[in-house]
Amino acid sequence: MTDQFQLTEDQLAIQEMARRFTADAITPFAAQWDEEHLFPRETIKAAAELGFGAIYVSEEAGGIGLGRLEAALIMEAMAYGCPATSAFISIHNMAAWMIDKFGGDAIKARTLPGLVTMDLMASYCLTEPGSGSDAAALKTTARLEGDHYVVTGTKQFISGGGVNDLYVTMVRTGDDGPKGITCLVIEKDMPGVSFGAPEKKLGWNASPTAQVILDNVKVPVANRVGAEGQGFAIAMAGLDGGRLNIGACSLGGAQRCLDEAVSYVKDRAQFGKAIAEFQNTQFTLADMATDLEAARALLYLAAAKVTAGAPDRTRFSAMAKKLATDNGSSVVDRALQLFGGYGYLRDYPIERFWRDLRVHRILEGTNEVMRLIVGRDLLK
């Protein structure tokens, strides 16, 4: 009876491979990356050698052609070591999939081989200084002139900004609203492309973030992904998977903190006995584990729906993202409380996960927007 709720042998093998890679290549170094604001480029490229740079890019295009549940397992495993690094790889995967799924032969042939190996790294550019949750109000313009577009505008909060090679960018080619938006691949070395200063953030210090500034950038029509006016739909399709991955990153980070807390309370003694022996500690751990498993179950279900193209996939993706990121942050916060004053110190990993997971409730659509998506879908 439980078989339908179990991972397959192949999924367990993928999960184990990701866990081994994390234990060897991410976890021992993540604190230093955070402390020194280091971008672990070589580690990320090593992940691509396992296929993690093109998880759901088709096999025909050189990817490993897995589903969204397998992607979530990989992101969850890597976030156990460093949520920022796992999320960076997630965003690259989202951009690569959009090119593979919707791009023409020319842009696919020119970019996907490098994206698969992560010799080329890609960003997703939707948000602007004046349009965050109201993404359809974006103002970056693209004017068609012969065989190229002339693009002007600024993109805000771009992961990989200034570091990555390709920017899958939503621009306005038509009227106001979502139907006037088109998707273009903009390259780092195109004249007119520049970047703002690296943002100084609460967390995600191992993942660079900056504005992408576009000043009369000439982008070939061949770099268009999909048809004119299809950009917003493409962007939203990408976010169905991106939201699952960010939720999975919260699960991985929260699981790490729960495991750290369980180990700590067994060793930490107060009032003559280990604090693990206090009923209050046991109740707290029980609630943390329950919240984590509930979010995991919903996220895995939503991932299966996105892979299958189910009609309610967007609603379930939004619900899963909301629950996983809310519960993940809450689990980490309670883990920090169990550590007491030591949880607030950088000698222990809890405070880093507390900082890193906080942004997950904002990006890929705020959790308030997730509630709007779910509520509107229910009322259709």
Closest by CA position to 72, among listed 246, 250, 242, 248: 248
Residue pair 51/63 in contact (Cβ under 8 Å)? The answer is yes
C-alpha to C-alpha distances, 146 to 106, 118, 303, nearest whole angstrom: 18, 32, 41
DSSP 8-state code for residue 95: H
Question: Distance between CA atoms of 52 and 30, rounded to whole angstroms?
Answer: 18
Residue pair 95/168 in contact (Cβ under 8 Å)? The answer is yes
Pair of tokens at residue 323? 């629950």
Handedness of CA 258, 263, 268, 273 (dihedral sign): positive
Question: Number of helices and strands (H, E) in the chain?
Answer: 11, 10
DSSP string, 48-65: HHTTTTSTTS-GGGTS--
Pick the catalytic residue from 70, 260, 351, 364. 364
Closest by CA position to 283, among listed 337, 236, 229, 235: 337
Question: Distance between CA atoms of 145 and 216, rounded to whole angstroms?
Answer: 12
Does the annotation count 364 as an active-site position? yes
Stated as kind and residue range, the H or E segment containing 88 is helix 83-102
Closest by CA position to 20, among listed 46, 45, 57: 46
> Which string of b and e fits 184-213 if b means at least 16 CB within 10 Å?
bbbbbeeeebebbebeebebbbbbbbbbbb
Residue pair 64/55 in contact (Cβ under 8 Å)? The answer is yes
Handedness of CA 41, 47, 52, 53 (dihedral sign): positive
Q: How far is CA 236 from the centre of its chain?
A: 14
Return the active site residues: 364
